[in-house]
Structure 1
Amino acid sequence: MALLMLPIALSACAGGGDDSRSFGLFDNKPDPPQSFPANYRTELLAFMKTYLNNPVGVHEAAMAEPVMRDVNGKMRYISCLRYSARESDGSYREPHERAVLFLNGRLDRLIEKAGELCAGVALAPFPELEKMTR
């Protein structure tokens, strides 16, 4: 009997008579303007040192300057990265292309399937990634 009353009690909490309050599961606030990630190269190198199993011996490293892109309906700075990391057996695979997402001027995450986020960007050599040590 108590289980049948639970949905009624919860619906009473969610639906008040006051129309000035709204209830939602997702944040509907406007997106604040994003600041340019001034230290993006340094932050990315620090991140990649922990992200890669072996940060030594990266080949074909290239990176694009951060640009604003639409990511799930929000404008974010994205930088694109291409590299070929050394495998555990010493071999190299084809270069990986990743998108690096910045939020409020700071590195937020690495997106493994860059796809359209990196379409048309100009990559430039990123020798600092190739010179990483443990």
Structure 2
Amino acid sequence: MLGPAALLALALAGCGAGSGLTVPTEGANQPFPQNFRAELLAFYKTYLTNPVGVREAALAEPVLRKVGGRPRYVACVRYNARQSDGRLRGLQEQAVVFVDGRLDRAVDDTEELCGGVSYAPFADLEKLTR
């Protein structure tokens, strides 16, 4: 014989089965950014004060993350860029957000977006010219 707790659990389990209720996932069909490397290079060529001589460049390829409550592809980039006087600024990290397969923006607050990613060398960023 089933106890009251077991009967309640069975009754509640039956309520949700096959109900067809789903949570809307706006933007869930985000396309993977096919040209993310080229877009990143074009972005950093204009974003960096001095794109020549970047050191320690690393890239974590795009993964789906929640950004503003919506799924977006995010690529994480680390680099040590030169300042306008030629001195290295220090290691920086940015989360680059892609919307509809295109680069949308770079975010400096990377703790949540870049946590647990695996970086690989991003040699093309170190080869930028003016």
- Give the alignment's TM-score, normalised by structure 2: 0.78
Does the aligned pair in 1 maintain the 2:95–2:114 contact within 8 Å? yes
SS at 1:33 equivalent: coil
Uncovered stretches (5+) of structure 2, i.e. residues with no partner = 1-23
CA distance in 2 between counterparts of 1:29 and 1:102 reads 17
SS at 2:90 equivalent: coil
1:53 aligns with 2:37: no
CA distance in 1 between counterparts of 2:110 and 2:26 reads 25
Aligned residue identity for 2:101: G
Give CA-to-partner distance per residue, 1:3-28, whole Å, 9 cap, x none. Answer: xxxxxxxxxxxxxxxxxxxxxxxxx9
Aligned partner (choices 31, 35, 57) of residue 35 of structure 1: 31
CA distance in 1 between counterparts of 2:96 and 2:26 reads 23
Aligned residues: 107
Q: How does 1:1-134 map to 2 (within 5 A)?
A: 30-134=26-130
CA distance in 1 between counterparts of 2:26 and 2:58 reads 34
More strand by share: 2
Q: RMSD value over aligned CA atoms?
A: 1.5
Task: State the percentage of identical aligned residues.
Answer: 58
CA distance in 1 between counterparts of 2:25 and 2:113 reads 24
Q: Which residue of 2 aligns with 1:22?
A: none
SS at 2:86 equivalent: coil
Q: How far 1:72 moved relative to its partner?
A: 1.4
Give CA-to-partner distance per residue, 1:86-125, whole Å, 9 cap, x none. Answer: 1122211221000000000111111112111000000000
Uncovered stretches (5+) of structure 1, i.e. residues with no partner = 1-27
